[in-house]
Structure 1
Amino acid sequence: YYILAYNKRHRELIINSYLKHVFNAAKAIEVKNRRRKLFTNMPTRDHDSFSSRKRAWSSVVFEHPASFDTLAMDHDKKAEILEDLDFFKNGKDYYAKIGKTWKRGYLLYGPPGTGKSTLIAAIAKHMDYDVYDLELTAVKSNTELRKLLIDTSSKSIIVIEDIDCSLDLTAERKNKKREEDAPDGGEKQKIPRMDYSERDESKVTLSGLLNFIDGLWSSCGEERLIIFTTNHIEKLDPALIRTGRMDKHIEMSYCTYEGFTVLAKNFLNLEDHSLLDEVKKLIENERVEVTPADVAERLMPRTRHEKDSRTPCLEKAIEFMKKAKEEKMKKEKDGDPQESTVDDDGLTASSEGGD
């Protein structure tokens, strides 16, 4: 340990200013040197303690390589998101001034494969926050959901992916509306509901989730981001995504030309090529809809020749986009709704799966 000696007349300066600075600097160094973690709500036993207490969250070291530099997204959209994040990170005094809990909600929506999960990883890296991946179907009640919230730390991101698939959060409202719309005369038809005691599934309600986001208990920590992802924004209850709960809605679109050039730079170290003009024409003029995940799959070199030449990878990506265009035109001509485009490798231009 160290001994700090000082002149008596400097006592106030040392105690009120210098020591406070030392403690804050030590805390900053600790935060800088710590390793980010990814948590999941799969309970484990804490074997390091004598009580073997059951923990709400288990974790692993989170070292995802994604960053905003490698994200296949338009520059302007990246800059907008980064500006919003930086304002939030430095906004402690501002949030205290306006009387709001220091937290912010993001809704990421768009087709599968457009980079929603990758964006979350990039946000975590930029902010240096831990990530709590909340699996709603594993939460048995609103009370348990509240306990999970209490056990999260500040400077963290709480993520609920594919929230439209996690729970039927609008079932209660639908049943109530059906009862209210029942024809007059006689006793209204009762809508049968399954007895919760007879099923082993989550009892989390829409009300419980709303309280989790911005109720009184949501203020038990600070400097938190809450992120929802969905492939179908139209399926979500408006109360869940209104401003004040999900403050910023970010559409994750199909691959743009600017996004394609980022991927070409990432995978092939390519900034200029004659084939890029054809790529630009397909994406911007002919409105071909392919996801960044599909483009990345084609741009990834499989052999040393492809890595050195780079042209074969671009040709594979262009060929895939042409197939996606033809498939889309065929379905539009037949009058069928657009479905997934499948190539010879069994990969799709769009699908109904996760991100």
Structure 2
Amino acid sequence: MISAIANFLEYDVYDLELTTVKDNSDLKRLLLDTKRKSIIVIEDIDSCSDEKIMVFTTNFVENLDPALIRRGRMDNHIEMGYCRFEAFKVLAKNYLEIEWHELYGEMERLVEEIDMSPADVAENLMPKSDEEDAEVCLRRLVKSLEEERENSSKLAEEEEEKKAELEARRKKKMKKKADLEVKEKAAD
């Protein structure tokens, strides 16, 4: 999404990981050294000067100080979900310059069924060389989605096996406890 915004606005993108910034002066120098209009992606938050779009990302919004994310400091809050067919069509148009392909029927079924982030979908749609056309990129995405489905199925199976194992242990423990209580009553 950030790359798409930057391309549309013809801005540069600077990706800063604040764990590498030692103090505020380092951060200010980094931010002020960018002479052109730019989008700055910061993963752990601070402030900046004008003519810049700041994009802050986190997987843990609940850990942020409410004063930091209030209106006026962070004007737009966007929760990124999984890529569905309408978003896929926009990505395909942007990256492959196509509005329809014979694989769209299969693609619609897959992206509605399988959870994949828009970034992962875009990564698969981006041509890796001048020889790669829409067909190659779409087939790569189909393969990636099918692999994701297999991985998700395996994880779900493993989770079910763990639950069944825990339940079996719990029942065994309860049976041992019941047997012990029976023995103690018989001994009295």
**Residue number in structure 2 paired with 1:282:** 110
| TM-score, with length taken from structure 2 | 0.59
Task: Give 1 or 2: higher helix fraction.
Answer: 2
CA distance in 1, matches of 2:14, 2:147: 39
Determine which structure has greater relative contact order: mean sequence separation of CA pairs < 8 Å that are 6+ residues apart, divided by chain length. Answer: 1
CA distance in 2, matches of 1:222, 1:231: 26
1:334 corresponds in structure 2 to 158
Cα gap change, 1:330 to 1:163, in 2 (>3 Å)? same
Whether the 8 Å contact between 2:85 and 2:111 is mirrored in structure 1 is: yes
2:77 aligned partner, one-letter code: H
Aligned mates of 2:42, 2:123 — CA distance in 1:
23
Question: Is 2:44 aligned against 1:159?
Answer: no
AA aligned opposite 2:79: E
**Within 5 A, what are the aligned runs for 1:44-55?**
none
Could you tell me how far 1:249 is from its partner in structure 2?
A: 0.7
**Per-residue deviation at 1:153?**
8.6
Mapped to 2, the partners of 1:133 and 1:260 lie a distance apart of: 25
Name 1:252's counterpart in structure 2: 80
2:184 is matched with none
One-letter amino acid of the structure 2 residue matched with residue 323 of structure 1: E
Instruction: Report the aligned-residue RMSD.
Output: 3.9
Verify: 1:264 aligned to 2:92, yes or no: yes
1:295 aligns with 2:180: no
* 1:220-241 deviation line (CA, Å, top 9, x unaligned): x655543312344344333322
Q: Which amino acid aligns with 2:76?
A: K
- 2:138 aligned residue (303, 314, 330): 314
Q: Distance in 1 between matches of 2:27 and 2:95?
A: 43
Render the CA deviation track for 1:127-165: whole Å, top value 9, x for unaligned. xx67666554454445x269649957999556342217x
Q: Where does structure 2 lack aligned partners over 5 or more consecutive residues?
A: 161-188
- Percent identity reads 42
Q: After superposition, what is the alpha-carbon deviation per residue over 1:196-245, rounded to whole angstroms, capped at 9, x for unaligned?
A: xxxxxxxxxxxxx4xx47xxxxxxx6555433123443443333222231
Aligned length: 159
Unaligned runs of 5+ in 1: 1-114, 165-208, 214-220, 337-355
- Residue 147 of structure 2 corresponds to residue 323 of structure 1: yes
1:158–1:152: structure 2 CA closer, same or farther, 3 Å change rule?
farther
Cα shift at 1:268: 4.0
Equivalent residue letter for 1:291: S
Task: Report the TM-score, using the length of structure 1 for normalisation.
Answer: 0.35
